[in-house]
Amino acid sequence: MNYFVNWVDNVLSNPYQYVDEVLKNPFQDFKDGDKTFKNIQMRENDEFEKIAKSYFPDYKVNYNFIRQSPYKQKEPNYIHSDEMMGDKTLLLYLNKIYPKDAGTTLYENNTPMCKLFYKFNRMVVFDSYLLHSRNLYDNFGEYNNSRLIQVIFLQK
Q: How high is the pLDDT of residue 49?
A: 98
Q: How high is the pLDDT of residue 38?
A: 86
Residue 134: pLDDT over 80: yes
For the chain, the average pLDDT equals 94
Range of the domain at 40: 5-155
Q: With bands split at pLDDT 50, 70 and 90, how would you rate the model's confidence at 2? A: confident
Strands (DSSP E) along the chain, which ranges? Answer: 5-8, 28-32, 35-42, 60-69, 88-93, 103-108, 111-117, 122-127, 131-134, 147-155
What one-letter code names the amino acid at 109?
N
The upper half-sphere exposure of residue 35, i.e. CA atoms within 13 Å in the direction of its Cβ, equals 9
Q: How high is the pLDDT of residue 36?
A: 79
Give the pLDDT mean for 92-104: 97
Q: Output the domain CATH number for residue 27.
A: 2.60.120.620
Residue 9: pLDDT over 90: yes
Compute the distance between CA of residue 93 and CA of residue 149 in angstroms, rounded to an integer.
Answer: 5
Q: What angle do CA 66, 36, 123 make, to 5 degrees?
A: 25
Q: What is the pLDDT of residues 50-76, one digit of tens each?
A: 999 999 999 999 999 999 998 998 777
Compute the distance between CA of residue 92 and CA of residue 123 in angstroms, rounded to an integer.
Answer: 4
Q: How high is the pLDDT of residue 54?
A: 98
Nearest residue to 155 (alpha-carbon basis) of 90, 83, 59: 59
Number of folded domains that form the chain = 1
Q: With bands split at pLDDT 50, 70 and 90, how would you rate the model's confidence at 20? A: very high
Q: With bands split at pLDDT 50, 70 and 90, how would you rate the model's confidence at 34? A: confident
Q: What values do phi and psi take at 38, rounded to 5?
A: -90, 145
Residue 1: pLDDT over 80: no
